[in-house]
Structure 1
């Protein structure tokens, strides 16, 4: 194949010429590169945006059009001009879309057609730079530094097709050649780019290259603006860039540190080390003083007063902690469904999510549906659909925090209420944990969990315990305390499936909006043979089939933060947890006509003080005196039952010269808004009437 034919650049637009200028390139050099522009990139390929763009053709070292495969189209990329469009990356972050290429055209390396690349490839004595970006590579090459451009930091390979070093790069004689890796100035803050540098260096070193890493100094005042190779040359000049090459650090000297990057990561906030192999946290002092890495040595370069350079051995752990390229993130997080290293709210984070326990595979879910129908027999179709959507939602939308928990109780053991929870646990894998009643108020088990089965939860009438449980269900972050490790906060993605043999498993308030409660109606479990077959199904692809089935479920009408349906079982649990006083207050809401009376006299008014209501309670309960309930205790019970005070809780002066705070017992909407103190006092003055 012959050498390329040059495109005419006589008609380059002003925007195209300006973009070339900012990269230190002239229109004449663009002609040598074969670069041209189009007013509407969508005319080139249906994937492209309808925007003006520079077209960047790729050529091999002989100057012929380059293809990723001989049967594929000629490779090129485009650089959009004008205002950036954006795209959503794998982490969910919005990023500017500046470059693109036609779909399914593979990966190629870029050789700026300003020099004889065939000669450079064969002469190992010719140093080379490798950078990310075609225009950056062209700028450096135009300034006397042969530079290969990559379309992305990992684009020296095409791993998806099993190509770990591009064929056009294999044509170079790498042995003993000095190769400088020059990525943008922000690489130190991006673990993914650091891994790319390490991977590229490994491939080059395997081929005998002498790799060095160049760190570009920022040429901008803005701290968050990165500097590329072309930016540096345009602002500082080619001589300044040559000096950076002379000062570049040999990567081979830091091989041990790069290997440590694959094993550990520094978490800046709050400051500790994570062992990536075990997901364990290590205090910095322990890491530098007593770990295996502390006993290993690496060379450190020392510049003497006379300018000579010498090397000494120091602890690998101590050197790694000071090393600018150490694997570093801003903080730890827990983001189900996201990559291990990702971004969250602009911060680089290490995601401790362990991945799903199974991969979804279409299959038979009949055993699950039979057990589900058996355990949840007696609830309505709508309630069953809600429960199934509750189970499916965090699988379809990983990381979803459900503002409700499921409580399944029943006196008969072995029915399968807990077995259903264990079935879901197979899907969650390491993100699942089982807890007992005594663990309810700890938090050590909540780190890195999506799904919790609370087994054999027993009754308690401690309201502070109930409040703690409600907070656990709805809190969106959780503080993690580990001995010798600084406290840190991660998202709380835990959802709770609780089982018990007790009908009073939890103390619930009348207005509870967090628990779906179901009582298993059966006095006998299913046949033992069913449970044996069910376990065999679960062990042989059942969980994978169930996950796939859940992923196909339509949950568009399900609100993960909404309240669950009110069931008869929940009403029974609420009533069983009530004290005599709370039960009386609950009756006051529904049966006030029978309570608001004195013998044959019935109260006509709707407003009463806690003291007046306490007298009625004591009248109705012969044991009330032994309970020693005070007006303050009555006030708290009224508040728990949902009663509100009139006049915003301020004292109301009555017509007889007294004053008090009055609760609205009846006609709530009438008395809670828009009434003056005089109107309220007139109403309170009404006496009881005989019926």
Structure 2
């Protein structure tokens, strides 16, 4: 009976549980008798040689009270863990016959079969860790396995004009955005042990340079992860992110998953990450990750109201397809190969960021666009009505008697909202109460009439909202929902002073369905 058929951690016998085949080193000496001194020494040397190789590759680690063998797979760029039984089984062919000397009778004892795995586990020189940490500050000491590998680029001063051209294109030549992105990258290099609590989101068509930027900075460190799906970033099993410092979510698409939204936001701002490596105990590691998202989809991340986690830019396509000799990306790639990366690292390493606050980033129209798409349905409907993308029934909004304002009848407006939701295929409808709270939040009716809830009522058509001009409605929406100027939120916004009193744009009544 082969004793390897029913192995477990308690019953495994390292000396008799190995298969019949022997290692190459042992094979060379299999015919040597135990009293052959030369053969015995050769076997012991072979065992020591294998043991040294195991010391180089493997470490013994405590993971939430359980013992694992761990190592880094440099080819796959991943961390690997094996429990003790699997470690023995996988390496069961690594063993040697070691002479046991002579008995008192003078007769030679039978050589003992020694597994290298068991010798390694009992080896006092084997590397042992009390736990796993990710610590760019490198203050954890030697008793923990620190997954931070540092930066592998040596800074060297040089011209970085091509890199600056790429950054300018990705920021669509917005100087405040260019400055912020450069400072963010410098913060990554200079202060890796300080979590920025902000993710960089780059939107734009394929081939404009998003991947080129990430390839450049990804080669700064071995703690870089290139993910090809949103699920790889926010999925349940995230063991591949255990040693991640720079994370590139390539061509991410946001599907509105609320649980995934929570995980993504936690990855950006929380001080610790929960790592769920399938089949192993969960562990907590400190979080220092820099997340970069690139997508050609409009809705790539969830930007909520007052959310300061996402800096969003829409890139210029001016370098798209410029890959031929003499064109931008060919020049850029050749420059990177010939010292460009080192010059970039030097520039970021020496850049003055003494007054830089990562969470104080420029607001952009791209970010506003994502925020609008992420709004709850009542606020989204109000926006679409103001923007002219959603129409209401003729009797929903009417001109108020003896006033320049309009009356928006509550029940009718709510019914229009439900119809709009159904037309777009939304499964969960907002309640009338949610609609009312949204209107109050957007337009701040208390500043117009403290008793509006009871006073704004018609004898024939019931309760209504009293709305100011469309321009004023846009202002209030932009201020109360987006904390931005209306020109950032509405593409056709015009200040009331620029509109004639009879201009169609000045009156919200015009945004009704035509008979």
TM-score where L is the length of structure 1: 0.47
* CA apart distance, 1:665: 5.6
Contact 2:319–2:329 at 8 Å: present in 1 too? no
- In structure 2, relative to structure 1, the CA distance for the partners of 1:619 and 1:625 (3 Å cut) is same
User: What residue is the counterpart of 2:214 in the other structure?
Assistant: 421
| 1:533-572 paired onto structure 2 within 5 Å | 533-560=331-358, 562-572=359-369
* CA apart distance, 1:388: 0.8
Q: Output the CA distance in 2 between the equivalents of 1:576 and 1:369.
A: 31
- In structure 2, relative to structure 1, the CA distance for the partners of 1:687 and 1:297 (3 Å cut) is farther
- In structure 2, relative to structure 1, the CA distance for the partners of 1:465 and 1:537 (3 Å cut) is same
User: What residue is the counterpart of 1:272 in the other structure?
Assistant: 68
Contact 1:403–1:563 at 8 Å: present in 2 too? no
User: What residue is the counterpart of 1:387 in the other structure?
Assistant: 181
User: What residue is the counterpart of 2:233 in the other structure?
Assistant: 440
* CA apart distance, 1:392: 1.4
Q: Output the CA distance in 2 between the equivalents of 1:602 and 1:579.
A: 34
Q: Output the CA distance in 2 between the equivalents of 1:429 and 1:516.
A: 25
Q: Output the CA distance in 2 between the equivalents of 1:688 and 1:276.
A: 69
Contact 1:463–1:507 at 8 Å: present in 2 too? no
User: What residue is the counterpart of 1:515 in the other structure?
Assistant: 310
* CA apart distance, 1:468: 3.0
Q: Output the CA distance in 2 between the equivalents of 1:685 and 1:643.
A: 13
- For 2:145, what is the secondary structure of its paired residue? strand
* CA apart distance, 1:512: 1.7
Q: Output the CA distance in 2 between the equivalents of 1:405 and 1:474.
A: 9
User: What residue is the counterpart of 1:206 in the other structure?
Assistant: none
Task: Give deviations 1:1-30, integer Å, cap 9, x for gaps.
Answer: xxxxxxxxxxxxxxxxxxxxxxxxxxxxxx
* CA apart distance, 1:548: 1.2
> Are residues 1:623 and 2:419 paired?
yes
User: What residue is the counterpart of 2:486 in the other structure?
Assistant: none
Contact 1:337–1:399 at 8 Å: present in 2 too? yes
Contact 2:397–2:409 at 8 Å: present in 1 too? no
Contact 1:362–1:548 at 8 Å: present in 2 too? yes
| 1:188-203 paired onto structure 2 within 5 Å | none
Q: Output the CA distance in 2 between the equivalents of 1:565 and 1:285.
A: 54
User: What residue is the counterpart of 1:658 in the other structure?
Assistant: none
Larger radius of gyration: 1
Q: Output the CA distance in 1 between the equivalents of 2:173 and 2:431.
A: 42
- For 1:550, what is the secondary structure of its paired residue? helix
> Are residues 1:574 and 2:376 paired?
no
User: What residue is the counterpart of 1:281 in the other structure?
Assistant: 81
Task: Give deviations 1:85-138, integer Å, cap 9, x for gaps.
Answer: xxxxxxxxxxxxxxxxxxxxxxxxxxxxxxxxxxxxxxxxxxxxxxxxxxxxxx
* CA apart distance, 1:586: 6.1
- For 2:303, what is the secondary structure of its paired residue? coil
- For 1:427, what is the secondary structure of its paired residue? coil
Contact 1:383–1:565 at 8 Å: present in 2 too? yes
Unaligned runs of 5+ in 2: 1-46, 105-109, 388-395, 459-465, 467-515
* CA apart distance, 1:565: 2.4
| 1:87-486 paired onto structure 2 within 5 Å | 260-270=54-64, 271-275=67-71, 279-291=79-91, 295-296=95-96, 314-336=114-136, 338=138, 344=140, 348-379=143-174, 381-410=175-204, 412-429=205-222, 431-442=224-235, 443-486=238-281
* CA apart distance, 1:571: 1.0
Unaligned runs of 5+ in 1: 1-252, 305-309, 591-595, 604-611, 645-662, 669-681
* CA apart distance, 1:546: 0.7
Contact 1:477–1:491 at 8 Å: present in 2 too? yes
- In structure 2, relative to structure 1, the CA distance for the partners of 1:321 and 1:473 (3 Å cut) is same
Task: Give deviations 1:314-338, integer Å, cap 9, x for gaps.
Answer: 4332243244553211012222363
- For 1:493, what is the secondary structure of its paired residue? coil
- In structure 2, relative to structure 1, the CA distance for the partners of 1:665 and 1:261 (3 Å cut) is farther
Task: Give deviations 1:605-661, integer Å, cap 9, x for gaps.
Answer: xxxxxxx996374266482695753246548x84xx9959xxxxxxxxxxxxxxxxx
- In structure 2, relative to structure 1, the CA distance for the partners of 1:361 and 1:299 (3 Å cut) is farther
Q: Output the CA distance in 1 between the equivalents of 2:352 and 2:312.
A: 23
Number of residue pairs aligned between Structure 1 and Structure 2: 381
Contact 1:337–1:355 at 8 Å: present in 2 too? no
Q: CA RMSD in A?
A: 4.5
Q: Output the CA distance in 2 between the equivalents of 1:516 and 1:642.
A: 29
Task: Give deviations 1:247-285, integer Å, cap 9, x for gaps.
Answer: xxxxxx988756643332111233201236755322111
- In structure 2, relative to structure 1, the CA distance for the partners of 1:257 and 1:614 (3 Å cut) is farther
User: What residue is the counterpart of 2:491 in the other structure?
Assistant: none
- In structure 2, relative to structure 1, the CA distance for the partners of 1:484 and 1:569 (3 Å cut) is closer
Q: Output the CA distance in 1 between the equivalents of 2:370 and 2:347.
A: 33
Q: Output the CA distance in 2 between the equivalents of 1:643 and 1:408.
A: 31
- For 1:509, what is the secondary structure of its paired residue? coil
- In structure 2, relative to structure 1, the CA distance for the partners of 1:491 and 1:299 (3 Å cut) is farther
- In structure 2, relative to structure 1, the CA distance for the partners of 1:313 and 1:564 (3 Å cut) is same
Q: Output the CA distance in 1 between the equivalents of 2:378 and 2:199.
A: 27
TM-score where L is the length of structure 2: 0.61
- In structure 2, relative to structure 1, the CA distance for the partners of 1:445 and 1:563 (3 Å cut) is farther
Contact 2:223–2:246 at 8 Å: present in 1 too? no
Q: Output the CA distance in 2 between the equivalents of 1:365 and 1:569.
A: 27
Q: Output the CA distance in 2 between the equivalents of 1:421 and 1:373.
A: 15
- For 2:176, what is the secondary structure of its paired residue? helix
* CA apart distance, 1:535: 0.7
Q: Output the CA distance in 2 between the equivalents of 1:277 and 1:298.
A: 31
* CA apart distance, 1:448: 1.6
Task: Give deviations 1:539-571, integer Å, cap 9, x for gaps.
Answer: 2221111111100011122234x2532212211
Task: Give deviations 1:496-550, integer Å, cap 9, x for gaps.
Answer: 1212222332332222211111112446638541110101111222111111110
